[in-house]
Chains A and B, each alone.
Chain A
Amino acid sequence: MEAKVLDSWVLAEFATPDILVDATRQMREKGFQGMDTYSPYPLHGGSEALGLPPSRVPFIALCGGLTGMVTALSMQTWMNTIDYKLNIGGRPLLSLPAWVPITFELTVLFAAFGIFFGLLGLSRLPQPYHTVFESEDFRSASTHGYWLGVPHAPGQDAAAVIDQLKALGATQVTVVTGEKE
Chain B
Amino acid sequence: MAETAAHHPLDPLEPRDLVAPHHDDKSLNETLLDHVWRKPGKGWFMLFGLSLSALGLLVIGVTYTLARGIGVWGNNQPVGWAFDIINFVWWVGIGHAGTLISAILLLFQQKWRTSINRFAEAMTLFAVMCAGLFPLLHTGRPWFAFWLFPYPSTLGAWPQFRSPLVWDVFAISTYLTVSALFWFVGLIPDLAALRDSSKTKLQRTIYGLFALGWRGSGRHWHNYKIAYLLLAGLSTPLVVSVHTIVSFDFAVSLLPGWHATIFPPYFVAGAVFSGFAMVITLIVPARKYLGLRDVITDRHLENMNKVILATGLLVSYGYLMEHFIAWYSQNQYEFWTFYVNRATGPYAGVYWLMITCNVVTPNIFWFKKCRTSVPIMWVASIAVNIGMWCERFIIIVTSLSQDFLPSSWGIYTPTWVDWSIYVGTLGLFGTLFLLFLKFVPAVAISEVKELQLELKHAAHHNSHGAH
- Chain A residues at the B interface, C-beta cutoff of 8 Å: 17, 24, 36-44, 46-47, 49-50, 52, 55-58, 61, 75-76, 79-80, 83-84, 86, 88, 91, 95, 98-99, 101-102, 104-106, 108-109, 111-113, 115-116, 118-120, 122-123, 125-130, 132-133, 139-144
Chain A contacts for B26, CB-based, 8 A = 143-144
| 8 Å CB contact of B237 from A55, A108, A126 | A108
A/B interface sample: 16 pairs, CB < 8 A: A41-B189, A41-B446, A41-B453, A42-B450, A56-B223, A58-B226, A101-B167, A105-B170, A109-B177, A123-B219, A123-B220, A125-B214, A127-B212, A141-B216, A142-B193, A143-B25
Interface centre among A57, A119, A133, A143, by most chain B C-beta atoms within 10 angstroms, is: A143
CB B267 to nearest CB in A, in angstroms, measures 14
Cβ < 8 Å to A, chain B residues 410-427: none
Q: Is A101 a contact of B447 with CB atoms below 8 Å?
A: no
| Interface presence of B35 (CB below 8 A) | no
At the interface, is chain B mostly helix, strand, loop or mixed? helix
Interface centre among B157, B185, B192, B213, by most chain A C-beta atoms within 10 angstroms, is: B213
Q: Is B218 a contact of A43 with CB atoms below 8 Å?
A: yes
With the chains together, A139 CA to B214 CA distance in Å? 11
Chain B contacts for A106, CB-based, 8 A = 170, 174
Chain A contacts for B193, CB-based, 8 A = 40, 142-143
CB B159 to nearest CB in A, in angstroms, measures 7
| 8 Å CB contact of A126 from B150, B213, B234, B446 | B213
The contact string, 1 if C-beta is below 8 Å from chain A, for chain B 177-208, is 11001100100010011011100000000001
With the chains together, A129 CA to B226 CA distance in Å? 25
In the complex, number of A-B residue pairs with CB atoms less than 8 Å apart: 189
CB B92 to nearest CB in A, in angstroms, measures 14
Chain A contacts for B241, CB-based, 8 A = 101, 104-105, 108
With the chains together, A44 CA to B157 CA distance in Å? 55
| Interface presence of B404 (CB below 8 A) | no
Chain A contacts for B237, CB-based, 8 A = 104, 108
Q: Is A43 a contact of B221 with CB atoms below 8 Å?
A: yes
Q: Is B223 a contact of A122 with CB atoms below 8 Å?
A: yes
Which of chain A's residues has its CB closest to B33's CB? A143
B interface residues, tally (CB under 8 Å)? 61
Cβ < 8 Å to A, chain B residues 149-167: 150, 156-162, 164, 166-167
| Interface presence of B238 (CB below 8 A) | yes
Q: Is B178 a contact of A139 with CB atoms below 8 Å?
A: no
| 8 Å CB contact of B178 from A39, A84, A108 | A108
Which of chain B's residues has its CB closest to A109's CB? B174
Q: Is B161 a contact of A98 with CB atoms below 8 Å?
A: yes
With the chains together, A25 CA to B177 CA distance in Å? 40
With the chains together, A24 CA to B160 CA distance in Å? 58
Q: Is A108 a contact of B238 with CB atoms below 8 Å?
A: yes
Chain A contacts for B177, CB-based, 8 A = 109, 112
CB B146 to nearest CB in A, in angstroms, measures 16
CB B202 to nearest CB in A, in angstroms, measures 15
Q: Is A57 a contact of B446 with CB atoms below 8 Å?
A: no
Given known A-B contacts A116-B181, A144-B26, A42 and B162 have beta carbons under 8 A apart: no
Q: Is A119 a contact of B158 with CB atoms below 8 Å?
A: no
Chain B contacts for A36, CB-based, 8 A = 217-219
Chain B contacts for A123, CB-based, 8 A = 217, 219-220, 223-224
Given known A-B contacts A47-B218, A108-B174, A75 and B226 have beta carbons under 8 A apart: no
| 8 Å CB contact of B212 from A24, A46, A56, A125 | A125
Chain B contacts for A126, CB-based, 8 A = 212-213
With the chains together, A128 CA to B212 CA distance in Å? 6
CB A87 to nearest CB in B, in angstroms, measures 11
Q: Is A83 a contact of B158 with CB atoms below 8 Å?
A: yes
Chain A contacts for B220, CB-based, 8 A = 123, 125
| Interface presence of B171 (CB below 8 A) | yes
With the chains together, A83 CA to B161 CA distance in Å? 13
Chain B contacts for A109, CB-based, 8 A = 174, 177-178
Chain B contacts for A17, CB-based, 8 A = 453
| Interface presence of B4 (CB below 8 A) | no
Q: Is B160 a contact of A88 with CB atoms below 8 Å?
A: yes
